[in-house]
Homo-oligomer: A and B are copies of this chain.
Amino acid sequence: MTREIQGNTEKISEFTVRRLSNYFRILRELEVKGVTTVSSARLAELGGITSAQVRKDLSYFGNFGTRGLGYKVTELKDAVIRILGLNHRWGMALFGAGSLGHALFFHNGFREDGFYFTHVYDIDDEKIGTMWRDVEIRHVREAEDRLRAAPVEIGVLTTPKESAQEVVDLMARVGVKGVLNFAPKRLELPDNMWLRNVNLAVALESLSFYLSL
């Protein structure tokens, strides 16, 4: 994560990026409520962090506030949208049409943020041919050709862990740049791809640890 960021040479930590994503949700809610101005102290309160943290996070990307006044909600929200790259549409391919894949595909929040599934692949003949909204579930053997013809930026991986790596290799071949992985498996990716792992077992097991104290 040493690449240049929007004309800025500083390295942005993943912690900062995740908080940015939270600021986005908070600001969107404030905007809906008709709040026009917000201070770093208020944002911090809503986000459960410190105001210094808020100001520091934002300072990596520019001067969005006004001393003595705070931040204009809509203005800051729009800035955060641009920073996160949510000002355009992202195409996604889903690999694994199981119940988790189904839940993700039909989750409306993603579309509202601009993340659209345009491909769904599985290997189960029972599922192949089924329509999910306007997307037909295809056999994964068709994936490579179809993704070359209609590329996407993001691949979402909900297959069993045994096939996760080969699916990632396929994604690499067709130019997918980001992978959201739900398989409990460490994946090897080329340097020009980004990976985000979501491991629900880790979440539950860490709860279990604290409950056992």
Contacts and interface: CB of A to CB of B under 8 A. Distances in A.
Contact of A203 (B25, B180, B205, B210): B180
A140 B47 CA distance: 28
B20 A209 contact: yes
A99 interface: yes
A162 to B, nearest CB: 11
Report, as a range, how many residues of chain A touch the other chain. 35 or more
A20 B99 CA distance: 27
Interface stretch (A70-78, A109-117, A142-150): A109-117
Contact of A21 (B18, B179, B201): B201
Interface in A41-57: 46-48
A164 interface: no
A63 interface: no
Contact of A84 (B4, B110, B208): B208
Given A209-B20, A213-B4, A109 B201 contact: yes
A113 B205 contact: yes
A100 B198 CA distance: 14
A113 B207 CA distance: 13
